[in-house]
Chain A
């Protein structure tokens, strides 16, 4: 999991502002995921991508957008339409074939706070 990095560690958003969270991996994984973590809520899937230039909505995609232009990068934008963005955001990646392909490895997370 040390091959997944997220930045920044902390991010502050003002009302009406879009902010972008970075996620990079050097594990040569095909699949990447974004989760939101709130206290007592576990991890909820926002978006995921199994291949470059393709992604799917997860369970709570409203107010978020993503892109997957490169295999190693999967940035998440929290738009102004997301009315309650304060949370811990976790990026993960996994292979899509071979032994252990299901295993997801997580980045260190970004904590987003609203000013």
Chain B
């Protein structure tokens, strides 16, 4: 089955700096890669996702890049703010009707 590795497990940055979280996956048939943000005690919320037919997707300060050959994808957050502090999870699946496999998460702390 699919295996998703996520790094780093913790990341601390200064406000205004950029943050990058990286994930690798094992199943070459995976074609859907979402990123979720989870604040303490709350539900995970989808912040951005990418499908295998594109290499990059942006939404304001957040971007995701995908390298299908190397089987890795990354989340980039620019101009970080204290409210970006949370746990971020990557995931991978073969698409609808297939289960999502999650990475173990990255605790991002943005220091004011």
Contacts and interface: CB of A to CB of B under 8 A. Distances in A.
Interface of A: 1, 31, 33, 40-45, 48, 50, 58, 90, 94-97, 101-109
A44 B4 CA distance: 12
A38 to B, nearest CB: 10
Interface in B3-17: 6, 9
Chain B interface mostly: loop
A43 B32 contact: no
SS class, residues of chain A in contact with chain B: loop
Nearest to A103: B46
A42 B102 contact: yes
Contacts of B49: 102-103
Residue among B32, B43, B98, B101 facing the most chain A CB atoms (10 A cut-off)? B43
B104 A42 contact: yes
B44 A106 contact: yes
Contacts of B105: 40, 42
